[in-house]
A and B are shown apart, each in its own frame.
Chain A
């Protein structure tokens, strides 16, 4: 009687498929976080690298941990940091709401268009995303600056006598974030609204609901998953945004991403920067997990 089993080669392929990407992610994604966490408990020194070793291998196990909470205490003490965190939350939240207000009608209109036009409109939404993000933010510097196109136009019409200070303000940061992350809001919203049955509309209207009521009672609840997904996709990266506040923002637009960057590159205080990153991650753990759960449940319902 012949016996045939899976050969070594067939099992090898399975191992490669699973373990190559897994190992890579463990090594270059997970281990780095552990290191950040570890270094956030050490003291800065003037050396290369500029922090004290966390484990002294000459000591016994109990005395090995050389960690210090100094970095975290310092973060609490100096209001530069928690003001940065709060400002980041505020700017990211307001930008998310603005993206939603502008993105929802756009997504709704696209979802209701006939299929051929729908694809063109969608492509137009995605297209800017493929061009350099940095250069698109930079474009706004030319538009918003004191001798930029808006000020020139307003001066020429005569509405203002003095150029308005728009660049290097929070206003410019909001514009930059909304501009950059708008497609991230529109796409999940569209995916949700596209599935919306247009008959629901007519059915509700038939039952005597006014358009606004139809929206409020029917469409909004149905599109809620899209709203949450889009908002998370805007809020999470906006929280740690570095480029936009650096190019468009002023002194009062210091967000936590910039604070971390400066702590690292300017002050060269790596342990403190690690502590800043750890706290930022803690703030974002909840929204990130929410996003991941939505991803998983969205998959299984398809």
Chain B
């Protein structure tokens, strides 16, 4: 189950539409992008996720041709485009600031790419009109960008980048400039549009939620390298290491030492306590190894009664903090051995008898299969 497909593939995927081969970019001594390999298939919506300064924007800019790689190759649809200037690449980009030309109307902004191709006037008008309808901006053709709202600007930028029918569309933090409500709505619009046009998208974002909901696959990037590549579910459920586990969602990580290995997994003793934890693992751990045992808050159940069952880990503790979000609540529980554990639970019942309150003594429990063993 663990993402066993090689993430750092050096043997090219025969179906790969975009191939990035050992791509690097150095700024003086600093390695912004360090030997990155990636294969993307046609029609994928791929997200590159990472914190600021991880090199994700530099990677995107190299794809667009706005930055020259120090080494490595970029191949799109069979063409090695590494040395092509930006204006000759069959790739377009939607910029984070949208970069709408302030002195041109919406119509002129969208038409710019076609005009530079030397396409006939009537053809341009026709395609611009169709694009305006596609992004639902029919009535805005003659407006200047400074008279548009944030959401409208975003759609103009998208239309402008899509009109040349690029083989690959790059989106730099496409939703970052929108407010929360608009972001959710736009997210779905973006996915539908991608589905409809079948264009390959690469999205760069720092927002893990955005990446999870938008993308068919995600690459998590850190210090110029990909740490893990996989579907959103693979990355969430089977993070490869502590960085990915912490970066995506919330997670409890306990330091532990492996004491026993058997067919169904391993048993580890938590450091500074007597608690034994069972966890499922495919990775090569051996007795005595220092590992991290990670459990997502929603995988832990909380109750006032001692839970029963096979292959579960239990711990007793006291509720220190409680945050009520309506449909669910988050608890911070301090166990007898002094560990802090975060638990989230759906509020299914309305009756008050099952409700856990501050300072209640509670039992935490989770199944062996919910634990993730992190070697690094």
- The 0/1 profile, CB within 8 Å of B marked 1, for residues 1-23 of chain A is 11111100010000000000000
A4–B80 Cα gap in the complex (Å)?
A: 10
A4–B91 Cα gap in the complex (Å)?
A: 14
Interface presence of B85 (CB below 8 A): yes
- Whether A1 pairs with B80 at a CB distance below 8 angstroms is yes
CB proximity to A under 8 Å, residues B78-134: 78-81, 83-85, 88
- Whether B85 pairs with A6 at a CB distance below 8 angstroms is yes
- The 0/1 profile, CB within 8 Å of A marked 1, for residues 344-365 of chain B is 0000000000000000000000
CB proximity to B under 8 Å, residues A119-147: none
Chain B min CB distance to A11 (Å): 11
Residues in A with CB closer than 8 Å to B81 are: 4
- Whether B78 pairs with A4 at a CB distance below 8 angstroms is no
Q: Which residue of B lies closest to A7 (CB)?
A: B85
Residues in A with CB closer than 8 Å to B78 are: 1
Task: Give the number of A-B contacts (CB < 8 Å).
Answer: 16
Q: Which residue of A lies closest to B89 (CB)?
A: A4
A296–B79 Cα gap in the complex (Å)?
A: 43
A4–B83 Cα gap in the complex (Å)?
A: 7
- Whether B79 pairs with A1 at a CB distance below 8 angstroms is yes
CB proximity to A under 8 Å, residues B42-83: 78-81, 83
- Whether B83 pairs with A3 at a CB distance below 8 angstroms is yes
- Whether B80 pairs with A5 at a CB distance below 8 angstroms is no
- Whether A10 pairs with B83 at a CB distance below 8 angstroms is no
A10–B84 Cα gap in the complex (Å)?
A: 13
Using C-beta atoms within 8 Å of the partner chain, give the interface range for chain A.
under 10
- Whether B85 pairs with A2 at a CB distance below 8 angstroms is no
Residues in A with CB closer than 8 Å to B88 are: 4
Residues in A with CB closer than 8 Å to B80 are: 1
Chain A min CB distance to B87 (Å): 9
A40–B44 Cα gap in the complex (Å)?
A: 73
A4–B84 Cα gap in the complex (Å)?
A: 5
- Whether A5 pairs with B79 at a CB distance below 8 angstroms is no
Chain A min CB distance to B168 (Å): 16
CB proximity to B under 8 Å, residues A1-54: 1-6, 10
Residues in B with CB closer than 8 Å to A2 are: 79
Chain B min CB distance to A259 (Å): 49
Q: Which residue of A lies closest to B84 (CB)?
A: A4
Residues in A with CB closer than 8 Å to B79 are: 1-2
A3–B85 Cα gap in the complex (Å)?
A: 10
Residues in A with CB closer than 8 Å to B85 are: 4-6, 10
Chain A min CB distance to B67 (Å): 15
Chain B min CB distance to A4 (Å): 4
A4–B81 Cα gap in the complex (Å)?
A: 8
Residues in B with CB closer than 8 Å to A6 are: 85
A2–B81 Cα gap in the complex (Å)?
A: 9
A5–B86 Cα gap in the complex (Å)?
A: 10
A295–B78 Cα gap in the complex (Å)?
A: 49
A3–B79 Cα gap in the complex (Å)?
A: 8
A2–B90 Cα gap in the complex (Å)?
A: 12
A5–B89 Cα gap in the complex (Å)?
A: 11
Residues in B with CB closer than 8 Å to A10 are: 85
A10–B78 Cα gap in the complex (Å)?
A: 26
A6–B84 Cα gap in the complex (Å)?
A: 7
Q: Which residue of A lies closest to B85 (CB)?
A: A6
Q: Which residue of B lies closest to A5 (CB)?
A: B83
Residues in B with CB closer than 8 Å to A1 are: 78-80
Q: Which residue of A lies closest to B81 (CB)?
A: A4
A242–B88 Cα gap in the complex (Å)?
A: 57
Q: Which residue of A lies closest to B80 (CB)?
A: A1
- The 0/1 profile, CB within 8 Å of B marked 1, for residues 244-272 of chain A is 00000000000000000000000000000
- The 0/1 profile, CB within 8 Å of B marked 1, for residues 74-116 of chain A is 0000000000000000000000000000000000000000000
A20–B83 Cα gap in the complex (Å)?
A: 28
- The 0/1 profile, CB within 8 Å of A marked 1, for residues 13-39 of chain B is 000000000000000000000000000
- The 0/1 profile, CB within 8 Å of B marked 1, for residues 48-82 of chain A is 00000000000000000000000000000000000
A269–B88 Cα gap in the complex (Å)?
A: 62
Chain A min CB distance to B351 (Å): 51
A2–B80 Cα gap in the complex (Å)?
A: 8
Chain B min CB distance to A3 (Å): 7
Chain B min CB distance to A257 (Å): 45
Residues in A with CB closer than 8 Å to B83 are: 3-5
Chain A min CB distance to B306 (Å): 56
Chain B min CB distance to A172 (Å): 50
Q: Which residue of A lies closest to B83 (CB)?
A: A5
Chain A min CB distance to B91 (Å): 13
Chain A min CB distance to B330 (Å): 36
A6–B85 Cα gap in the complex (Å)?
A: 6
**What are 16 residue pairs bridging A and B, where the CB atoms are less than 8 Å apart in the complex?**
A1-B78, A1-B79, A1-B80, A2-B79, A3-B83, A3-B84, A4-B81, A4-B83, A4-B84, A4-B85, A4-B88, A5-B83, A5-B84, A5-B85, A6-B85, A10-B85
Taking beta carbons and an 8 Å cutoff, which residues of A are in contact with B?
Answer: 1-6, 10
Which 7 A-B pairs have CB atoms at the shortest separation, nearest pair first? Answer: A4-B88, A4-B84, A6-B85, A2-B79, A1-B79, A5-B83, A1-B80
Given contacts A4-B88, A10-B85, 10 further A-B contacts (CB under 8 A): A1-B79, A1-B80, A2-B79, A3-B83, A4-B81, A4-B83, A4-B84, A4-B85, A5-B83, A5-B84
